[in-house]
Amino acid sequence: MTRRPIPVLVSVLFAVASVAVAASVWWPVYQTPQFVLVLIGGIVLGTLVALTGWLFRLHGVLVIFLAIIVYLAAGVPLTMPERMGPGILPQPQAFLDLVRGTAEDWKELVTILAPVGTYQGLLIPAFLAILGTTTLTISLALRVSRGEVAVLAPILLLVIGIAFGREESWFPLAIGLSLLVLLLGWLIWLRGFRHRALLRQHAVAVASVSPSRRERRRAAVVGTVSSVIILAIAVSGGAVLASALPPSSDRDVLRTRIEQAFNPRDYPSPLSAFRRFLRSDLVNEPLLTVTGLPQDRRVRLATLDSYDGVVYSVGTPDASSASGTFVRVPYRLEQAALGERVSMTVSISGYSGIWLPGAGQLAEIRFSGANSDALTASFFYNDVTGTGAVVGGLAAGDGYRLDSVDTPTPSDAALRELRPGTAELPRFDDVPQSLTDRLETWTEGVSGDGARLVAMLDGLKTEGYISHGLEEDEPASRSGHGIDRIDELLTAKPMVGDAEQYAVAAALMARELGFPARVVVGFLATDQGPASSVTLTGEDISAWIEVQDSSGRWWTADPVPAVRDIPEEEPEEPQLVARPPAIVQPPVEDEDEEIEQSPPTESEQTEEESLNPFLATLLRIAQVAGGILLLVAVIAGPFLAVIAAKLRRRALRRKRVHPADRIRGGWQEFEDTALDYGLEAPPSSTRREVAAAVGGKRAIALASVADRATFSTERPSHEDADRVWAAVEDLRRSLGTGRTRRERFRAASSLRSLRTRRR
């Protein structure tokens, strides 16, 4: 590329504008002002690196290492400004996190719910992509003969941004057409510039037949008009194609294909541990304190939408509702749910478990306490069900503040107006006949979907009674919510159970009525004090259902009867036909044993792994050694890059095809070595003058051989070239003789010979 300033400036401006437009697809992933600083910093620094490499004619390898140095120097201030030290230098751990994030944050970026903001240095991939693309685009535009290939780099940045972006597209037509216009304009300008340069060369060669002013004006007009027509056709075609394609709200990107780090199916259903909260050790134990309780005084633990006849669980791999997909939440998410804004502050005391108490659809969460960073890193959320989980579990002393959008519990009159929604939930068709019979009895003569739903809820609350079966004075009430337990509940007279059974029965009945329904496990505050601060105990554990209406909203419906005296069991009518002996149910397993089947937490796995002190010591040594090696590699990297570039240059010169070229390459190698040692001759010097400046008969003899190979009509042989290279190696060693080790290293890592073109 020419050194004329105007063409260089135009190419740089086109490159910068193209990278800026292509990088805009990253905005939906971050949505933070810091991304704008990363964009500006990456473009400015990449431009400086590329221009430095072009001005000083640095080898491509050196340009790469210069870009790496700039990346390491500016990475922490731009991507992790909060990790800067008291001065201008970053914290040592932040520098190591930058190096680690270069390789690992790409996967982290697609496993965390966007927008990620400045969460845990996840701006690193964007900064690396923008800096690298800018450097590559400008370097290709200025250094290669066909600068048109530079347009591929912004296109690649656009593709990477889409792949690592969100499922929802963000101004795709505007970004795509803007980039198309810029790249086409750049290509047209390059074509015109190259055409004008050829015309100038032709006019100099044949000045007598140079085109007239009228012909030049006509050629310019034709070129401009044709360029405008091509650009207009491309833009119009892109617009027509975009409008003709069917609209799609979601894109298939990497974050939709990545394997989720948290799978709720690996843990027992929280509904299975329902009665654990009602035992003597937890029933009156303060579990958590909530400030800012919602109006309905309900706190969600988990939403369950998958029933297999044995257990109601959180999500299923085959459910199209995506209720089993949990992602990491950096600090907030865009919440489009309708309802009232709720701000809750939760302090954990006696509660422990992976399910995070909350309410509504989460908009923002911030953990507090000594373990806040670990909790933030291990928090996963499912926005379909409003369920949050902390891998490793919550413990006493943990706390957090969350903002959410909560749908208030509707009145019976509002429920009667509902129409069934269309959410797809995992099917369960093997409902017992007792459920169908009860449902028909309660809804007989009732018209309207919502009215039938209210009639079903009233039937459960009117004919049902509460007993946990844990105290001696309580009627027997078996725990569990398998289909046999639900059948037992609905056939008993009177119906006796607790929220665990009534919620499951109500969800199955609501589905029979056509409503998508799911079970919610959580706390219902019985303390009727002010909602500003309420302490929840095990006695407050409850379960209810949510049904979806035709608008897509989920509404809370409570099927649990009020606590009241339970009448005596109605005696069965005498039967003349002898009945077979009743099958004695096997003893119910202790809920604690079921809970203990949960997969080991990370802390337990760590304890098991730390049992081998020898392996732990080796791992620690490897970590320390790896850090030292990484630091040494960063410091020595530029010097090693220069030495590697020189070794590659020497090998290419020595392996040239023609003997004469090999001999000239040998002389160039000798001259470059002398230059690196500080022995520089004027640019117009002949080979003999350069040899005389270096000194020694062998240098003069080498100059004579190189001149003869260049100007003589006799063709040298490969043996002659081998002898020349042997002499060159001797001369290179002689130049270092008598010098200190520091001087020899300075010559080996010198950039002089890489910047200067040799004969």
Which tens digit of pLDDT belongs to each residue from 86-129?
767 777 888 888 999 998 888 888 878 778 888 888 999 999 99
Residue 194 confidence (pLDDT): 72
Please say if the pLDDT value at position 453 is more than 60. yes
- Do 394 and 513 belong together in one domain? yes
**Are residues 530 and 671 located together in one domain of the fold?**
no
Average pLDDT on 488-508 reads: 96
State residue 614's pLDDT score. Answer: 57
- How would you classify the pairing of strands 464-466 and 495-497? parallel
pLDDT at 607 over 60: no
- Tell me which of 549, 564, 579 is where a domain ends: 564
Structural domain of residue 664, as residue ranges? 619-755
Domain boundary among 178, 210, 244: 244
Q: Could you give the 3-state DSSP secondary structure of residue 715?
A: coil
Q: What is the mean pLDDT of residues 230-255?
A: 52
- What is the model's pLDDT at position 242? 47
Element (H, E) at 666: helix 659-676
**DSSP secondary structure string for all residues of 503-519:** HHHHHHHHHHTT--EEE
| Domain match, 203 and 282 both | no
Q: Residue 587 domain-assigned?
A: no
Short-list 673, 681, 678, CA closest to 643: 673
Look at the alpha carbons of 689, 694, 700, 701 in this order and tell me if their dihedral is positive or negative: negative
Specify if 594 maps to a domain. no
pLDDT at 198 (0 to 100): 63
Query: Residue 346: what pLDDT?
Result: 97
pLDDT on residue 231: 53
* Residue 190 maps to a domain: yes
- Look at residue 609 and tell me if it is in a domain: no
Secondary structure in 3-state letters for 95-152: HHHHHHHHHHHHHHHHHECCCCCCHHHCCHHHHHHHHHHHHHHHHHHHHCCCHHHHHH
- Is 576 a member of any domain? no
- Examine the pLDDT at 580 and tell me if it is beyond 80: no
Task: Identify which has the larger pLDDT, 246 or 704.
Answer: 704
Structural domain total, the chain: 3
- Kindly tell me if the per-residue pLDDT of 602 is higher than 70: no
| Residues 156, 229 within the same domain | yes
Work out the average pLDDT over 521-527. 89
CA dihedral sign, ordered 491, 495, 497, 502: positive
Same domain, 281 and 211: no
Cβ pair 525, 471 in contact under 8 A = no
Is 407 within the bounds of a domain?
yes
8 A C-beta contact, residue 189 and residue 14: yes
Tokens standing for 150? 């530079």
What's the pLDDT score for residue 597? 40
Out of 72-76, 585-589, 686-690, give the one with best mean pLDDT: 72-76
- Summarize the confidence of residues 567-573 as an average pLDDT: 66
Give percent above pLDDT 90 in the chain: 44
- Beta-bridge partners for 464: 495
- Residues contacting residue 417 through CB under 8 Å, at least 6 positions apart: 450
- Across residues 253-278, what is the average pLDDT? 83
β-strand 361-368 against 464-466: which pairing, if any?
Answer: unpaired
Q: Rounded to an integer, what distance in angstroms lies between the CA atom of residue 19 and that of residue 34?
A: 18
Mean pLDDT, rounded, for 401-419: 92
User: Does 544 share its domain with 650?
Assistant: no
Domain end position, chosen among 530, 548, 564: 564
- pLDDT bin (cut points 50, 70, 90) of residue 218 is low
Mean pLDDT throughout 695-720? 82
Backbone angles phi, psi at 490, to 5 degrees: -80, -15
Residue 243: pLDDT band with limits 50, 70, 90? very low
Q: Which residues pair with 557 in a beta bridge?
A: 545
How would residue 739 be classed by pLDDT, with cut points 50, 70 and 90? confident
* Residue 270 pLDDT greater than 80, yes or no: yes
Rounded to 5 degrees, φ, ψ at 519 are -100, 140
**364 vs 343: CA distance, rounded Å:** 9
Same domain, 462 and 554: yes
| pLDDT tier, 675 (very low <50, low <70, confident <90, very high otherwise) | confident
> Which is higher by pLDDT, 698 or 451?
451
Task: Please tell me the least confidently modeled range out of 12-26, 483-497, 635-649.
Answer: 635-649
Please check whether residues 431 and 356 belong to one and the same domain. Answer: yes
Most confident of 520-534, 660-674, 678-692: 660-674
Confidence of residue 68 (pLDDT cuts 50, 70, 90): very high
With respect to residue 581, please indicate whether it lies within any of the assigned structural domains.
Answer: no
**Cα 51 vs. chain centroid, distance in angstroms?**
32
Q: Which amino acid belongs to residue 748?
A: A
Are 81 and 182 within one domain?
yes
Q: In 351-448, where do the E strands start and end?
A: 353-356, 361-368, 379-382, 387-394, 399-406
What is residue 422's predicted lDDT score, i.e. its pLDDT?
A: 92
pLDDT at 593 over 50: no
* In contact, 314 and 303? CB cutoff 8 Å: yes
pLDDT of residue 283: 92
Same domain, 448 and 525: yes
**What is residue 556's three-state secondary structure?**
strand
Q: Are 355 and 382 in contact (CB under 8 A)?
A: no
What is residue 114's predicted lDDT score, i.e. its pLDDT?
79
How far is 149 from 374, CA to CA, in rounded Å? 46
Task: Assess whether 400 and 512 both reside in one domain.
Answer: yes
Task: Look at residue 492 in the predicted model and tell me its pLDDT.
Answer: 93
Summarize pLDDT for 177-205 with one digit per residue, the tens: 899 989 988 988 888 777 676 666 655 54
pLDDT, tens digit (0-9, with 9 covering 90-100), for 296-330:
889 999 999 999 999 999 987 554 446 777 888 87
- Residue 748's pLDDT band, with cuts at 50, 70 and 90, is confident
Per-residue confidence (pLDDT) for residue 278, from 0 to 100: 94
591 has a pLDDT exceeding 80: no
Residue 604 covered by a domain: no
Q: What's the mean per-residue pLDDT of the chain?
A: 82
Q: Are residues 203 and 278 in the same domain?
A: no
Q: How many CA atoms lie within 13 A of 222 on its CB side?
A: 7
Distance CA 506, CA 547 (A): 10
User: Is residue 305 within 8 Å of residue 356, measured between CB atoms?
Assistant: no
